[in-house]
């Protein structure tokens, strides 16, 4: 059976005592309409000053919870991700004090993306392919009480794993009866690291098929994803790789991002804010080595194929 949940059926906290907005049988499909992560506060035409005035207590808006009949602690919920539909726009910000280089940016910046089918050309000189996914997908936590959505955990949540797009399957360990699946924080695209603080935040619709695997709970989220780990067009040209080593992995990552920002400023003539936003949606951070203790090496991969 197929079900639909509209975006008014949303919450902004994890809370196992919230009533389910819908209960489905294992094997059913469900369409979830999701607000953008700001709970509908951001809109095209908004200024950076207006953006700084939004209620951040409403981040993130999640659609659900959706109950699954027969789900019990110790079971696994297998969520088959069937597809996404965007609504033609998205946003990404630079917010002072947040993200990988938050201490180096003192003025807020808000960029509105125009999404055209499977691409966006909203920054001069580049064409980005869209790869939609839910930044947050999880089941209700075992603990009682209300919990902010920013920290992820064994229950899933704000994992920002960009490969959880169409064709992926995500296993989540059930902690309460009926599981209480929630999803939101949809991104039209994101780089591994989400370094400015956002991906392409977008109102979106996702289609899911929900399976129940009895007594099969993984220790934490586990996924099987399609083999194209970057948009196929990006693999037709080389990647620029920025490599940094440091005892503190975060400092190595910051150095990588700083160099990628400088490269984009020099090549495209972008502001540092817009270059950081571009890094947030298409630069992939990777751990290259942890064996040469105490030094860790991180690399940032930027696809040449994005450049017009």
3-state per-residue secondary structure call for 242-258: EEEEECCHHHHHHHHHH
**Residue-level pLDDT at 208:** 98
Indicate the pairing of strand 2-5 with strand 29-34: parallel
289: helix, strand or coil: strand
Rg value, the chain, Cα = 19
**Residue-level pLDDT at 295:** 98
**Rounded to 5°, angle at Cα 198 from 98 and 9:** 115
**Residue-level pLDDT at 191:** 98
How confident is the model over 267-302, as pLDDT tens digits?
999 999 999 999 999 999 999 999 999 999 999 999
Tokens (6 digits) for 269? 């003539």
How confident is the model over 132-171, as pLDDT tens digits?
999 999 999 999 999 999 999 999 999 999 999 999 999 9
Who contacts 98 (Cβ-Cβ below 8 Å, separation ≥6)? 197
How confident is the model over 50-109, as pLDDT tens digits?
999 999 999 999 999 999 999 999 999 999 999 999 999 999 999 999 999 999 999 999
Q: Could you tell me the strand order of the sheet in which 296-303 lies?
A: 239-246, 296-303, 284-289
Residue 190 to residues 23, 55, 114, 178, 286, Cα–Cα distance (Å):
31, 23, 15, 31, 14
CB atoms within 10 A of CB 15: 16
Asked if residues 223 and 168 have their Cβ atoms less than 8 Å apart, the reply is yes
* pTM exceeds 0.95: yes
List of domains in the chain: 2-224 (2.60.120.580), 233-306 (3.10.28.20)
What DSSP character marks residue 20?
P
Asked if residues 123 and 278 have their Cβ atoms less than 8 Å apart, the reply is yes
With b for 16 or more beta-carbon neighbours within 10 A and e for fewer, the 245-259 pattern comes to bbeebeebbbbbbbb
How confident is the model over 179-199, as pLDDT tens digits?
999 999 999 999 999 999 999
Asked if residues 13 and 149 have their Cβ atoms less than 8 Å apart, the reply is yes
How confident is the model over 188-238, as pLDDT tens digits?
999 999 999 999 999 999 999 999 999 999 999 999 999 999 999 999 999
């Amino acid at each position: 059976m197929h079900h639909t949940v509209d975006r008014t059926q949303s919450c902004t906290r994890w809370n196992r005592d919230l009533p389910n907005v819908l209960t489905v049988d294992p094997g059913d499909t469900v369409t979830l309409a999701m607000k953008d992560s700001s709970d509908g506060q951001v809109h095209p035409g908004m200024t950076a000053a207006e953006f700084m005035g939004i209620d951040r207590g409403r981040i993130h808006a999640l659609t659900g919870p959706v109950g699954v009949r027969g789900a019990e602690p110790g079971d696994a919920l297998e969520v088959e991700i069937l597809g996404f539909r965007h609504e033609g726009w998205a946003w990404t910000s630079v917010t002072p004090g947040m993200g990988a280089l938050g201490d180096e940016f003192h003025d807020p910046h808000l960029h509105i993306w125009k999404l055209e089918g499977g691409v966006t050309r909203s920054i001069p000189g580049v064409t980005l392919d869209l790869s939609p996914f839910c930044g947050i997908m999880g089941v209700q936590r075992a603990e009682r009480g209300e919990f902010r959505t920013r920290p992820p955990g064994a229950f899933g949540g704000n994992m920002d794993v960009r490969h959880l797009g169409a064709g992926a399957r995500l296993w989540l360990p059930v902690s309460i009866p009926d599981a209480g699946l929630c999803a939101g924080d949809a991104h039209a695209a994101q780089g591994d690291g989400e370094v400015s603080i956002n991906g392409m935040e977008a109102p979106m619709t996702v289609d899911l098929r929900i399976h129940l695997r009895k007594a099969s709970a993984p220790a934490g989220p586990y996924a099987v994803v399609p083999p194209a780990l970057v948009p196929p067009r990006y693999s037709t040209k080389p990647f620029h790789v920025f490599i940094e080593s440091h005892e503190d992995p975060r400092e190595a990552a910051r150095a990588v991002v700083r160099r990628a920002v400088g490269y984009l400023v020099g090549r495209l003539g972008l502001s540092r804010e817009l270059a950081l936003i571009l890094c947030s949606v298409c630069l992939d951070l990777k751990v290259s080595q942890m064996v040469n203790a105490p030094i860790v090496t991180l690399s940032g991969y930027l696809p040449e194929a994005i450049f017009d």
